Amino acid sequence: MKFFNFHLMPYRHADLDAIERNGSAWVTYSNSHYDPEKGAGLYHEYLDQMELADRLGFDGVCLNEHHQTAYGMMPIPGVLAGALARSVKRAKLAILGRALPLLNNPLMVAEEYAMLDNLTRGRFIAGFVRGIGAEYHAMGINPAHSQDRFAEAHDLIIRAWTEPGPFQYVGKHYHFNYVNPWPRPYQSPHPPIWIPSQGSSSTIRWAAKMRYTYAQTLSPIAIVARFFQMYRDEAEKAGYTPSPDQLAWSNTIYVAETDEQAMREARPHLDALVNRFLKMPTEMLLPPGYSNIDSIKRIRAAKVTGKPTSVDDLVKNGVVIVGSPSTVREKLAAYQDLAGFNTSLTKTQFGTLPDDMTRANMQAIAQEILPHFRDRAPQGAQRAAAE
Amino acid sequence: MEEPNASRADVRGCNIALRRAGAGGPLLILHGASDAGLWLPFVADLATHHDVIAPEHPGFGSSDTPAWLDTIPDLASFYLDLLDQLDLTNVHLVGFDLGGWIAAELAVRNTRRLASLTLVGAAGIHVPGVAQIDPFLRTDERRIRDLFHDPARADDMVKRAARPEFEDIGLKNQTTTARLTWQPRGYDPHLAKWLHRIDVPTLLVWGANDRFFPPEFATAWQKLIPGAKLTVIAQCGHLPHIEQRPAFVAALDDFLDRMRAAA
């Protein structure tokens, strides 16, 4: 299994009570709560952690994009990827991903990603997402155009990378007389493409058909297993058998000496992540048109945004893995076999977790977990397990 | 008056629901984001002396959602097609909320078939510095209650919106509303430039307590449309035709009567 150090770069000094009073850390949580001195410190702290991950033997480091939120301070992830392109010497560098529909000019992502691919001499992984609903409130992009714009931007970027320029592009949302980006990507035909999603069936079907790596965000492992089986089924329908490398599980791992100590230490920081940084009202998460009506009804019925999430449930349901080295190894192996993935996108920092604890966690994962999974592939019949 | 059966109209391949009732001169009602598909009591009032035509916009209620539907001007052109197809003349055009925006876009393009224009709590223009409610960051119930000056008046609409059989239609209406009005939020920066072209008698009816489009919007419309008359209704939110129905119907009748007298 491959391990990536996935960072959300939260503004971990946020006033959690103020977030609770506001109802969300997104869109309407005033940036007057942002202290530039503290924020600048956090950028350097988090970049240092990414460089540490490289030295510790993680296979890659991951950035992502969110706007107008204390949940993550990476509205323009390319800035941070640029900072890491030369200081992360060995590991892959992934942006998972840029939110294509938010862009009025997707060619800028074709350019940005090609630059990063050149700077890293081919260690770059290109993630494409639609962005969550809150992004459409924050960036003034019509959610009813989200799916169309994603499809069109994706096609334009792939063509820009693979067809000799200049050529003309005429779409519904994007129009260019000259598509001819310099530089071209370093990897041929282009960087690997990864598609993170909350589990939309149309996204899973599309990613499988395109042979893109599918990354499942924050979900109970039983649901992850179901989505990954859906991917394998869709790949078979598309005429090929996918490799477990095409499935990536986005998780959170915290390791300490004992289960009890690990739970005690991780609890307040996980609680901050799921019950403060991640919370938002349904109308912010799901603006009209962002998903088709059936999906919106399903998500509304599940009331995913309303109820508090207990840390114990997160652990019990396998959304996160917290424990002693042996507990974490056992659970991760069981989950790998259950769901059939071969990439772990692991948040080693989460919520309000401070630097010293994050670094200790990273060291523990590097020493106690990584070596045991280096050559381990999913075992057993995943189909049976997923059912 | 009994609620007429919903009939259908097909305009260049787009099939819509359309109710029509009453006798008199034609009066075309363009509904807003929150009252699609309702045969409201005020419509029955008007049907006693008008030939009332109340369609559901493409993308709303039980009407088709055509592939060409992207903007409010698309709907303005669609309704010009409908007026041609029904061959209506001397039409009193009455638009509410986003229906008012459609009506204004239509009148800017072509008033050949119009006798008058009435805009009620209309979207479509921007007025700097006036605080507005964001309808997309509200729960359904909160949004409906905020439509009224007296939130208790919203009970019927809240109950109706919560009915499971209405969920699909409600989501469809919201999706189309987002498609048409999300960005810029509820206006077209190019519309205000051409409102001077409207050359039929125009009435603006506004709730004094409208929080979606506060009365400053009415004043701005009045400056932009030559000779427009304004009636502000007291104790009234965004839906004068529901919250202050008698006052609304009286304002519209009075406007149309004076027009007839002047002609």
If pLDDT is split at 50, 70 and 90, which confidence band does A199 have? confident
pLDDT of residue B5: 74
> Between the CA of residue A47 and those of A53, A164, B38, what are the distances in Å?
10, 36, 57
Q: Are B133 and B185 in contact (CB under 8 A)?
A: no
Q: Is the pLDDT of residue A386 over 70?
A: no
CB contact under 8 A, B179 and A293: no
10 Å Cβ neighbour count for B156?
10
Mean pLDDT calculated for residue range B85-94: 98
Strand A124-129 relative to strand A193-197: parallel, antiparallel, unpaired?
Answer: parallel
Q: How far is B168 from chain A (nearest CA, A)?
A: 7
If pLDDT is split at 50, 70 and 90, which confidence band does A303 have? low
CB contact under 8 A, B178 and A281: no
pLDDT of residue B263: 82
CA A221 to chain centre: 16
Q: Which residues of A touch B176 (CB under 8 A)?
A: 144
For chain A, give the mean pLDDT: 95
Q: What's the CA dihedral at B13, B19, B23, B25 to 10 degrees?
A: -50
Q: How far apart are CA B100 and CA B123, in angstroms?
A: 6
Q: Is the pLDDT of residue B1 over 90?
A: no
If pLDDT is split at 50, 70 and 90, which confidence band does A305 have? low
CA angle B229, B233, B234 (to 5 degrees): 145
The domain that contains A336 carries what CATH number?
A: 3.20.20.30
Smallest Cβ–Cβ distance between A288 and the set B171, B183, B185 belongs to B171
Amino acid at B169: I
User: At A222, phi and psi to the nearest 5?
Assistant: -65, -35
pLDDT of residue B91: 98
CB contact under 8 A, A145 and B136: no
**B174 and chain A: CB distance < 8 Å anywhere?**
yes
**B171 and chain A: CB distance < 8 Å anywhere?**
yes
CB burial class (10 A; 0-12, 13-18, 19+) of residue A294? exposed
User: Crossing angle, helix A201-210 and helix A221-237, to 10 degrees?
Assistant: 50
**A301 and chain B: CB distance < 8 Å anywhere?**
no
Mean pLDDT calculated for residue range A311-337: 97
pLDDT of residue A297: 81
Q: How far is A308 from chain B (nearest CA, A)?
A: 19
Amino acid at A164: P
CB contact under 8 A, A142 and B182: yes
How many domains is chain A partitioned into structurally? 1
Domains in chain B: ranges and CATH = 7-262 (3.40.50.1820)
* DSSP bridge pairs for B55: B18
Three-class SS string for chain A? CEEEEECCCCCCCCCHHHHHHHCCCECCCCHHHCCHHHHHHHHHHHHHHHHHHHHHCCCEEEECCCCCECCCCCCCHHHHHHHHHHHCCCCEEEEEEEEHHHCCCCHHHHHHHHHHHHHCCCCEEEEEECCCHHHHHHHCCCHHHHHHHHHHHHHHHHHHHHCCCCEEEECCCCEEEEECCCCCCCCCCCCCEEEEECCCHHHHHHHHHHCCEEEECCCCHHHHHHHHHHHHHHHHHCCCCCCHHHEEEEEEEEECCCHHHHHHHHHHHHHHHHHHHCCCCHHHHCCCCCCCHHHHHHHHHHCCCCCCCCHHHHHHCCCCEEECHHHHHHHHHHHHHHHCCCEEEEECCCCCCCHHHHHHHHHHHHHHHHHHHCCCCCCCCHHHHHC
Interchain CB contacts (distance < 8 Å): A and B: 51
DSSP code per residue over chain B: -PPPPPEEEEETTEEEEEEEE-SSEEEEEE--SS-TT---HHHHHHHTTEEEEEEPPTTSTTS---TT--SHHHHHHHHHHHHHHHT--SEEEEEETHHHHHHHHHHHH--TTEEEEEEES--B---TT-----GGGS-HHHHHHHT-SSGGGGHHHHHHHHSGGGHHHHHHHHHHHHHHHTTTTTB-TTTGGGGGG--S-EEEEEETT-SSS-THHHHHHHHHSTT-EEEEESS--S-HHHHTHHHHHHHHHHHHHHHHHH-
Search chain B and give the residue with CA nearest A136. Answer: B182
Q: Which residues of A touch B171 (CB under 8 A)?
A: 288, 293, 296-297
CB contact under 8 A, B171 and A28: no
Q: Are B30 and B104 in contact (CB under 8 A)?
A: no
Q: Are A72 and A43 in contact (CB under 8 A)?
A: no
Q: How far is A77 from chain B (nearest CA, A)?
A: 25
Q: Which domain holds residue A298?
A: 2-386
CB contact under 8 A, A141 and B183: yes
Q: How far apart are CA A297 and CA A301, in angstroms?
A: 6
Q: Which residue has the tokens 């920092």?
A: A349
Q: How far apart are CA A16 and CA A267, in angstroms?
A: 15
Amino acid at A299: I
Mean pLDDT calculated for residue range A210-230: 95
pLDDT of residue B164: 86
pLDDT of residue B129: 97
* DSSP bridge pairs for B229: B203
Q: Is the pLDDT of residue A382 over 80?
A: no
Q: How far apart are CA A129 and CA A62, in angstroms?
A: 14
Mean pLDDT calculated for residue range A279-286: 93
Q: Are A285 and B139 in contact (CB under 8 A)?
A: no
For the segment A68-85, what is each residue's pLDDT rounded down to a tens digit? 999 999 999 999 999 999
Complex-level ipTM: 0.94
pLDDT of residue B165: 85
pLDDT of residue B151: 85
Search chain B and give the residue with CA nearest A283. Answer: B137
**B168 and chain A: CB distance < 8 Å anywhere?**
yes
Smallest Cβ–Cβ distance between B178 and the set A142, A281, A282 belongs to A142
**B139 and chain A: CB distance < 8 Å anywhere?**
yes
CB burial class (10 A; 0-12, 13-18, 19+) of residue B189? exposed
Longest dimension (CA), chain A: 62
Q: Are B92 and B25 in contact (CB under 8 A)?
A: yes
Residue environment code for B214-252, b if the CB has 16+ CB neighbours within 10 A, otherwise e: bbbbbebbbebbeebbbbbbeebbbbbbbbbeebbbebb
Q: How far is B188 from chain A (nearest CA, A)?
A: 14
pLDDT of residue B35: 85
For chain B, give the mean pLDDT: 95
